[in-house]
Chains A and B, each alone.
Chain A
Amino acid sequence: MANEILYADITGVTAPISVSVADTHGQAGATASISAESTTLTIGDTVEIDLGYNSDHDVIFTGYVKIVEEKVPEDVVTIVAQGQLGRAVDYFIASTDPNQPFTRQNIAAEDFVEDLLALAGLTNYASDVSNFIYAVSIPATVNLIGAYDYIKSLADIIAWSVYSDENGIIQFRDRKPYVMGSDTSSLTIDNDGTLSITRSVSDVDLRNRVVVYGGPNGVYAEASVASPYLPAGYFKSVVVATEVLDRQNYAQLAADYNLEKLNRLTTSLSMELVGNSNVACRDVITIQNTELSINSDWYVYSLEHNWGRDGYRMNAELRQ
């Protein structure tokens, strides 16, 4: 029988009562909700959540305060915080002179994202190298749109992910919502760390045809493949429409990348786990379960840490 003393150290918070931190692949980053006896935090302050056990704890969230609530007669404060990429969600791009909007031409995807993040004051940034060029010959104009919405569309075109991690760094990565060949497991969870587990397989996200409509010079591309899970000649389609693709080769790459991402069944585990601050959303971990004969690596698609008087538990959706 394990016996652990719960630990929490949160910037500007005294006597935390409960903490919930949730993050999902495809979201801008985690959101946190903290209940406590008192706080010195105010709107916009940076907050870091380090929690777990006295014997093993880690930073699971870095972000900024969005909401502070004070409740009587309970004398409890509730703080809601958002990951750093929330700044880009709230940042609306609107040029002062409509004739001189923000533009970029012949620019690598990771550099385009970096420039857009800088508009929202976000410079703590890391990325992979995409070798993918947007707006090769026709400038891309960005105006009257949220910075995150535009950045997310750039990521979706090449089937990448953009998110803020638990340390507050904005990541632009070739991160698919399943285990990739280059992934290595960061830790193993077996039955001793598992409270419940459900396995499911579905075709809800399967797409076996991708059509890309590019920029004003008539660029388009298509990628499709027969699926063993669909009738012969039957295609579930998705369309990528964007003006930033003005070359045929990049439009075709976008179609190929998205077909590879989407042409698959969704195999998932829904698990309730004993809390572990070493697990983060978008990690790859090994699950061992004898009843379901599982001993393999899984991608952490969504993760919710729940810490309080009911103990430290996690709800996770894992995918392969």
Chain B
Amino acid sequence: MSWTLNGTRIYAQDFGTGSKSIIARLQTIGGGTTLHTFGYESEIVKISAFVVTDADKTALEALIGTGLSYALVSPEGSLGNFCVSTMDFKRQLTNCIVLYDRPGLDPESPFYLMDVELFIDG
């Protein structure tokens, strides 16, 4: 298996996760700080990945703002379904692209670095 988001091939370069508690800090005039734990935020996934061709970029951009969640798959298997929070693309300068799993790829295809933040659904 390869890295895909909703079935679109991505070439992950960097993968990270994070979670956090929601804790309010109340400063009393007695000097002590009171902590109130409200709950926690579920896992957030951040991925930097290469995306090749405008068609793949367009397919990924279509995941923004739908209110739906999409399968994220890694070489080790499914990581679950995620909503897309943010997605940024930067076009990279390239002279020739040759990818072993895309033998029919035009060597002059656009080549992007994508930073995406995903919220786990459920």
Contacts and interface: CB of A to CB of B under 8 A. Distances in A.
Interface in B61-85: 67
Interface in A289-304: 289, 291
B1 interface: no
A291 B28 contact: no
A195 B28 contact: yes
B29 A4 contact: no
Interface stretch (A132-140, A159-167, A186-194): A186-194
A2 B24 CA distance: 12
Interface residues of B, number: 18
B35 A190 contact: no
B37 A194 contact: no
Given A73-B67, A309-B22, A6 B36 contact: yes
Contacts of A194: 28-30
A192 B39 CA distance: 24
B28 A310 contact: no
A94 to B, nearest CB: 48
B34 A4 contact: yes
A2 B37 CA distance: 11
A274 B26 contact: yes
A192 B30 contact: yes
Interface in B27-44: 27-39
A2 B26 CA distance: 10
A197 interface: yes
B27 A195 contact: yes
Contacts of B25: 311
A195 B33 contact: no
A191 B35 contact: no
Interface string B1-36: 000000000000000000000101111111111111
Interface string A194-212: 1111000000000000000
Nearest to B33: A1
Contacts of A73: 67
Contacts of A197: 29
Interface in A25-50: none
A313 interface: yes
Contacts of B35: 1-4
Interface of A: 1-6, 53, 73, 190-197, 274-275, 289, 291, 308-313
In the complex, the 4 A-B pairs of residues with the closest C-beta atoms, listed nearest first: A311-B24, A191-B30, A311-B36, A192-B30
11 contacts: A4-B34, A4-B35, A73-B67, A191-B30, A193-B28, A193-B30, A194-B30, A195-B27, A196-B29, A309-B38, A312-B36
